[in-house]
């Protein structure tokens, strides 16, 4: 006889229906208004003002490339057409000019893990903002950064922001399954890596079912990957096999000390610690920091040598309130030279972008549900933050 659990199953069905409905509504809007790709384009003059370029260089490059059959984006303005250059167009201009890419300088990908055991501190928002922000930042386009986000949070929030159609329902090709199945590079590319609205940024999705995988991780590893240390699977089976495809790899996990978090720490070159100023969140962040050595010791006891080069702290959900500034001062005492000057502020733009399954970088002002000025301000802050993180990573890499 089936037990009566009240309205649990009815609510679950309604929630599932609404989830699919919201996703379908957003997708239909994008198709209706032809907003399936990244919206931002550059005029020819705007490109001429980018680093390592000039008006003469851009005009010459465009003329030479068009003479060889290359087609640049254009838009109609009245009776005339003007250049509307996509990110890929700009990248190709740099390549035509033989400007070195990031991969020419650094041969291996740099792995960044945004982590805190406290939930609700902007880990996911930070991760997806950095992925889009570093790729699309005008001053960094010459690097032609190739970025992968590995979503190991069963809530699949990063997947929702980056590729919402892969975040609904039961998804089989998840990062957790990629780790367990011991696939070759071609299989990972074809089955698990998903493109996002931002060209040059990919995601390996997560699914709610991954929570069951994490809870039984050691038994699953013993069965499917005998002889492999439980915390080295992410690096061994995913990151190392996709190393030639990416310059930066970002990892997002849930706020739990589980097998996924240990794998992410073991695979990372740098940890980024979002530090909210609210007292309860700040205290929880301090508790997490005190437990990091314990996590590293657990990884070392498996025979794995962590690759960590730094733990960078930054303020998230920051405002100019007096108590927030006090918390920032305390955070500087803790992180000292590892504290990032740039912050991720608490702004309406960051909070409302989730309504359209976008980041503040990818959100199209024409369809953004809030104020265009609020979105513009949030995007400016995101670009400043992304550049600060990139510059700090470059400094760290220069010391190696």
Residue range 377-396, pLDDT digits in tens: 999 999 999 999 999 999 99
Global pTM value: 0.91
Angle between helices 87-96 and 55-67 in degrees, nearest 10: 90
Contacts of 187 (CB under 8 A, 6+ apart): none
| Max CA separation in the chain (angstroms) | 79
How much is the average pLDDT of 27-40? Answer: 65
Cα 275 from Cα 210, distance rounded (Å): 27
Q: What is the pLDDT of residues 306-321, one digit of tens each?
A: 999 999 999 999 999 9
Task: Quickly state the pLDDT bin for 2 (edges 50, 70, 90).
Answer: low
Residues 174, 181: Cα–Cα separation, whole Å: 11
State the pLDDT confidence band at 228, using cuts at 50, 70 and 90: very high
Dist. CA 344–CA 377, nearest whole Å: 12
> In which band, very low, low, confident or very high, does the pLDDT at 34 lie, cut at 50, 70 and 90?
low
Average pLDDT over residues 354-377: 87
| Lowest mean pLDDT segment, chosen from 97-111, 118-132, 254-268, 360-374 | 360-374
Q: How far is CA 241 from CA 182, 222, 363, in A?
A: 10, 21, 32
Task: Let me know: does 208 contact 171? Beta carbons within 8 Å.
Answer: no
Cβ neighbours, 10 Å, residue 15: 10
Q: What single-letter DSSP state applies at residue 244? A: G
| Token representation of residue 256 | 């739990």
**Residue 265 pLDDT:** 97
Q: Residue 68 above 60 pLDDT?
A: yes
Give 5's pLDDT tier (boundaries 50, 70, 90). Answer: low
pLDDT band at 4 (very low <50, low <70, confident <90, very high): low
Q: Which helix (H) or strand (E) holds 83?
A: strand 80-83
The mean pLDDT value of the chain amounts to 90
Indicate the SS3 state at residue 273: strand
At 11, the pLDDT band (50, 70, 90 cuts) reads low
| Structure token digits, residue 223 | 């069965």
Residue whose tokens read 């702290």: 313
Per-residue model confidence (pLDDT) at position 167 = 59
Name residue 314's beta-bridge partners.
274
Is residue 156 over pLDDT 80?
A: yes
Bridge-based pairing state of the strands 147-152 and 201-204:
parallel
Closest CA to 207 of 255, 232, 246, 175: 175
For residues 254 and 93, the model is more confident at 93
Domains and CATH numbers, the chain: 44-97 (1.10.1660.30), 103-399 (3.40.50.300)
pLDDT of res. 327: 93
Specify the 3-state DSSP secondary structure of 339: strand
DSSP three-state, residue 97: coil
Distance, CA of 262 to CA of 218 (rounded, Å): 12
């Amino acid at each position: 006889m089936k037990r009566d659990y009240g309205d649990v199953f009815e609510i679950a069905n309604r929630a599932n229906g609404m989830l699919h409905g919201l996703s379908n509504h957003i997708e239909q809007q994008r198709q209706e208004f032809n907003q399936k790709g990244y919206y931002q384009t550059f005029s020819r003059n705007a490109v001429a003002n980018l680093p390592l370029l000039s008006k003469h260089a851009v005009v010459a490059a465009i003329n030479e490339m068009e003479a060889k059959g290359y087609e640049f984006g254009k838009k109609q303005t009245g009776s005339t057409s003007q250049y509307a250059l996509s990110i890929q167009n700009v990248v190709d201009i740099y390549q035509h000019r033989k400007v070195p890419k990031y991969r020419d300088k650094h041969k291996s990908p740099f792995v960044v893990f945004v982590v805190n055991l406290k939930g609700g501190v902007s880990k996911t928002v930070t991760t997806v903002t950095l992925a889009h922000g570093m790729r699309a930042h005008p001053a960094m386009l010459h690097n032609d950064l190739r970025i992968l986000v590995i979503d190991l949070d069963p809530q699949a929030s990063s997947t929702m922001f980056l590729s919402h159609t892969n975040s609904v329902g039961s998804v089989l090709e998840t990062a957790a399954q990629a780790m367990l199945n011991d696939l070759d590079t071609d299989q990972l590319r074809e089955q698990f890596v998903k493109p996002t609205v931002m060209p040059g940024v990919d995601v390996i999705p997560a699914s709610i079912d991954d929570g069951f995988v994490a809870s039984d991780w050691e038994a699953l590893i013993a069965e499917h990957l005998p002889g492999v240390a439980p915390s080295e699977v992410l690096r061994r089976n995913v990151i190392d096999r996709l190393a030639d495809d990416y310059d930066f790899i970002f990892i997002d996990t849930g706020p739990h000390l589980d097998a996924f978090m240990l794998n992410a720490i073991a695979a990372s070159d740098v940890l980024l610690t979002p530090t909210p100023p609210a007292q309860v969140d700040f205290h929880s962040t301090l508790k997490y920091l005190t437990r990091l050595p314990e996590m590293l010791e657990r990884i070392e006891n498996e025979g794995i040598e962590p690759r960590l080069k730094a733990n960078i702290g930054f303020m998230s959900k920051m405002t100019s309130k007096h108590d927030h500034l006090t918390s920032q001062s305390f955070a500087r005492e803790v992180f000292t030279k590892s504290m990032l000057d740039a912050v991720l502020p608490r702004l309406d733009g960051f909070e409302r972008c989730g309504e359209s399954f976008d980041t503040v970088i990818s959100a199209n002002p024409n369809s953004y549900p809030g104020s265009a000025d609020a979105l513009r301000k949030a995007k400016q802050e995101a670009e400043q933050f992304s550049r600060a993180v990139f510059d700090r990573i470059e400094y760290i890499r220069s010391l190696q």
